[in-house]
Amino acid sequence: MTIEARAPPSQFVAKLRRVLGGQAGWGGFALQILFVAALAWIGYEIVANARANLAAQRIASGFGFLSNTAGFGVSQSLIPYSESDTYTRVFFVGLVNTLVVSVIGIFFATLIGFLIGLGRLSPNWLLARIAGGYVELVRNLPLLFQILFWYLAVLAALPNPRQSISLFGSFFLSNRGFGIPKPVGTVGFEPFAIAIVVAIVGALLLRSYARRQLFQNGRLIKIWPYVLGLLIGLPLLATLVFGKPVTFEYPELKGFNFSGGSRIIPEFVALTLALSTYTAAFIAEIVRAGVQSVHKGQMEAGASLGLTRGNTLRLIVVPQALRVILPPLTNQYLNLTKNSSLAVAIGYPDLFSVFAGTTLSQTGQAIEIIAITMGVYFVISLVTSAIMSFYGWRIGRSMGA
């Protein structure tokens, strides 16, 4: 007599049931279906009602307005824009302005934040107190107040264009912004650009070589003189061989304002300053917490190996701290991006100001425009967190965690 082996329960079905229904099994699954159906029905009702009522009040709806002519000017656009362009173009002008302010803001916020955060932990009493004071002061004042402070302080201190402060006769500082020479590419530009790319790639290769040497053989190689040589030498060589890469167009006072050259508008300066110094205070606290979460034995171990404090921090403590730092740091990056919409207070033409503001009031199509704007901030946020997660994953992997 043989005992027939009973077929094991299908792994797939069991897994499906667990995934879909959780501990409640198929019953939970049915509840979820019901819940989703209810949500979908409510969503449908909202959309249908809104449509019916917009039609009843004869309010125009749909996305046709995007191809209409905007007919208003924008003070800063990094992509070509004129009053005869469409609202779609306005959207992109605003989007680019938002991204620029966010990326530059994030860069400076990270830089200042790490410096202040590490400074707070410094054994130097004065440095630690100054960093602590900075955090307490900046963190406890509303961001809008700081934006207005920078804007009004920057403007109030600066002279009018006719009496602008001139540096070397080519940089001009006035209440219309900072006029700088504008580079214009000439014949030697392409070889110059290639040289820079090659230099950067070379520097990165050197760095990874040095890291490998460090982790595998424990050899500490000083690479910065070579990197510096590469970054300066190669472009210089290209210039010598192929000629001048760029000429400069200088700003000139014509009529009321400067024409020619490039200009950094005060609204941009004020917003970037406020966003980066404000967010830096929070990042500093995150960095401090992250570093303190690493056991102090690690610091002592570094010291006992004869590493300097700087090297211990850079090579041992910060990489471990980063695992704790990254998630809240991502939040700060998202906050900074979203806070950039306060630009509307000082007339910086970001997405919220020119699209969800001006375009909305010119066309009156609130639902469409708010939906698009919400979608954009949503996507920006998702992309930012995706990048940060990827970075976190790489750190985790390189530490063998």
Partner 1 sequence: MAMRSGRLASAMIAMIEEFRTSLKGFAMKRATLVFTLALAAGLSAQAASAQTLKTVKDRGMLSCGVSQGLPGFSAPDDKGNWAGFDVDVCRAIAAAVFNDPTKVKFVPLSAKDRFTALQSGEIDVLSRNTTWTLSRDTSLGVNFTGIAYYDGQGFLVRKSLKVNSALELNSASVCVQTGTTNEQNVADYFKGNNMKYEVIAFGTADETVKAYESGRCDVFTSDVSQLYAERLKLANPADHGVLPEVISKEPLGPLVRHGDDQWFDIVKWTLFAMINAEELGVTQKNVDEMAKSDKPELKRVFGTDGNLGETLGLTKDWVARIVKATGNYGEVFDRNVGAGSKLGIARGINQLWNKGGIQYAPPIR
Distance in angstroms (rounded) separating the CA atoms of residues 94 and 110: 24
358 touches partner 1 (CB under 8 A): yes
Comparing C-alpha atoms, which of 260, 252, 259, 286 is closest to residue 135?
A: 286
250 touches partner 1 (CB under 8 A): no
176 touches partner 1 (CB under 8 A): yes
Residue selected from 66, 117, 120, 267 as contacting partner 1 according to rule CB under 8 A: 267
Q: Identify which range of 49-57, 224-232, 321-329, 378-386 contacts partner 1 by CB under 8 A.
A: 49-57
Burial 366-383 (b: 16+ CB within 10 A, else e): eebbeebbeebbeebbee
Residues pairing with 248 in the sheet: 183
What are 360's two structure tokens? 């909305």
Residues pairing with 174 in the sheet: 177
Q: Identify which range of 69-77, 124-132, 288-296, 301-309 contacts partner 1 by CB under 8 A.
A: 69-77
74 touches partner 1 (CB under 8 A): yes
CA angle 113, 118, 121 (to 5 degrees): 135
353 touches partner 1 (CB under 8 A): yes
> In this structure, how many other beta carbons lie within 10 angstroms of the beta carbon of residue 207?
15
Query: Which x/- pattern over 206-245 shows residues binding partner 1 (rule: CB under 8 A)?
Result: ----------------------------------------
| Closest distance to partner 1 from the beta carbon of 182 (Å) | 16
Residue selected from 22, 71, 327, 375 as contacting partner 1 according to rule CB under 8 A: 71
> In this structure, how many other beta carbons lie within 10 angstroms of the beta carbon of residue 96?
18
Ranges within 83-122 binding partner 1 (CB under 8 A): 83-84
| Closest distance to partner 1 from the beta carbon of 273 (Å) | 15
What are 169's two structure tokens? 């006769």
Residue selected from 24, 49, 67, 107 as contacting partner 1 according to rule CB under 8 A: 49
Specify the DSSP class assigned to residue 141: S
Comparing C-alpha atoms, which of 349, 344, 388 is closest to residue 110?
A: 388
324, 289 Cβ separation under 8 angstroms: yes
Binding site for partner 1 (CB under 8 A): 46, 49-50, 52-54, 56-60, 71-75, 83-84, 144-145, 148-149, 152-153, 155-156, 160, 175-176, 254-257, 259, 266-267, 344-347, 349, 353, 356-358, 360-364, 366-367, 370
